Amino acid sequence: MISLLGIPLDANSSHLRGCAAAPSAMREALHSGSGNHVTEATIDVVAQIDDLGDVDLSNEVGSNADADAITEAVAHELRRGRRVLSVGGDHSVTYPILRAFRDHVDAPLTVVHIDAHPDLYDDLDGNPLSHASPFARALEDGCMARLVQLGIRTATAHQREQAARWGVEMYGARELGRFDPSSLSSPIYVSVDLDGLDPSVAPGVSHHEPGGMTYRELLDVIDALPGPIVGADVVELNPSRDLVGMTAMVAAKTVKELAGAILRS
């Protein structure tokens, strides 16, 4: 069984807020009558997802208490023997999630990160828990053995220095053909920032960055991952920026396909 956790946090966002409303928008799309509950491989994954609702958070900027609450909520499910699929919220939620996996998964993680941005800032605007910094914090805290980033197209000089410091493998949206999924070691954690997709596919995000991945490219990456996939998150859906629920449906399908990959693996 997969535990689904909503994480309604957007206090650590730069530029815009709105991602705290994402878990409810994703759930509405997931159960919408316009679709159904099966993956492209015809697995009824929703029947195998236990939706635990949202983590109770203050949604305050830089809150260590919120980060700790996220870590404990994920750790609780891992202690129960569950695999955990989380829905943000901004990307700052990934760092406390990965702390829980570090402490409750036997082998070091390989993290596959889909995004327009590397999210490796030492801090942004003085906030070390910024949504632009989760992977810097996670690498500092030894939450993974390997970080592979796909779709990146906004890497600043500072973030490239950070990537070199930590040995991060970064592939731009034009370089996906260089990514070799068979080289990945298990266990694998997948973090999908919806702005890794082109805005024509996912307009409902806070940071539009043209030139991104197609949705089929994202599905191909998920399908190609070897197992076991021990957990995943889908983040940065901003319903206030969405068009006719389009990005919420993309988020919901991504949740289904990631759940299918977790079950397959």
Per-residue pLDDT of the chain (265 residues; tens, 9 = 90+): 999 999 999 999 999 999 999 999 999 999 999 999 999 999 999 999 999 999 999 999 999 999 999 999 999 999 999 999 999 999 999 999 999 999 999 899 999 999 999 999 998 989 999 999 999 999 999 999 999 999 999 999 999 999 999 999 999 999 999 999 999 988 999 999 999 999 999 999 999 999 999 999 999 999 999 989 999 999 999 999 999 999 999 999 999 999 999 999 8
Q: How far apart are CA 127 and CA 114, in angstroms?
A: 22
Task: Give the model's pLDDT for residue 227.
Answer: 81
Q: How far apart are CA 19 and CA 194, in angstroms?
A: 11
Task: Give the model's pLDDT for residue 265.
Answer: 81
Residue type, 159: Q
| Tally of residues, the chain | 265
25: which 2 tokens? 């928008």
Task: Give the model's pLDDT for residue 196.
Answer: 98
Task: Give the model's pLDDT for residue 232.
Answer: 98
Task: Give the model's pLDDT for residue 185.
Answer: 85
Contacts of 20 (CB under 8 A, 6+ apart): 8, 9, 10, 11, 59, 89
Residue type, 122: D
Q: Read off the pTM.
A: 0.97
